[in-house]
Amino acid sequence: MLFYWLNLIGIFFFTISGSLAARDKKHYHDYFGVFFTGFLTAIGGGTLRDMMLGAYPISWLSDRNILISIICAFVFTLVFKKYIVKLTRTLFLFDTVGVGIYTILGVQKSLEYHVNPFAAVILGLITAVFGGVIRDTLINEIPLIFAKEIYATACIAGAVLFTALLYANVDSNIAASISMVLIIFVRILAVKYKLALPKFDAGNETID
């Protein structure tokens, strides 16, 4: 039951994240453009995960509460947009919480389908970041997963920790809570202190 509610909460946060990102772009003038971006941000990662797992019907097609959560998040954004946009790093906050929740949910569902732990970690990452990739692509931004700041690495760290805790027979609710906190904590530290992985340098050598 905890994971079900976490899924709805994650969808709520990602919808707000996508809606806010779209709202900030001048070429989005209508409500549909903002809603559509929020919608794809919310369901993108989970949809790809379910397709890769062969988990049909895809979750948002079979559970109306997911669509209700998306609609509620969109209405929430419209009603409180004047207050939300005044908060510093609002988009970052909603995206970070959403990423933390979605990573763990992706790993959990993957393990339920008996994939190996390494694949579960990758599917957790895909669940977390793919919606954001769609969002950033739609608004013509470089996806955060390709940015210099630590993003995917935080998801992988949380996914690995969650998997390890489960195999150590730690209660799944406790394992999920600890792992989500780790992801959020790493993301906040990375942004605050501008932490990044070493940059790949292909070199400037030329072939004669």
Per-residue tokens: 147: 């940015």
In a domain, 144, yes or no: yes
Burial of residue 117, with CB atoms counted within 10 A of its CB: 0-12 exposed, 13-18 middle, 19 or more buried = middle
Q: Considering the chain, what percentage of its residues have pLDDT values greater than 70?
A: 88
In a domain, 199, yes or no: no
> Are the C-beta atoms of 70 and 39 separated by less than 8 Å?
yes
In a domain, 33, yes or no: yes
Range of the structural domain that residue 22 is part of: 2-192
Residue 82's pLDDT is 78
Per-residue pLDDT tens digits for 6-39: 889 989 988 988 888 887 665 555 888 889 999 9
In a domain, 204, yes or no: no
Per the structure, the count of domains in the chain is 1
Per-residue pLDDT tens digits for 59-92: 999 999 999 999 999 999 989 887 776 665 667 7
Cα separations in angstroms, 55 against 7, 52, 108: 16, 8, 13
> Are the C-beta atoms of 21 and 36 separated by less than 8 Å?
no
Query: Does 208 have pLDDT greater than 60?
Result: no
Please give the angle made by the CA atoms of 24, 139 and 109, to the nearest 5 degrees: 105
Who has greater pLDDT, 199 or 176? 176
Residue 104's pLDDT is 96
Query: Does 207 have pLDDT greater than 70?
Result: no
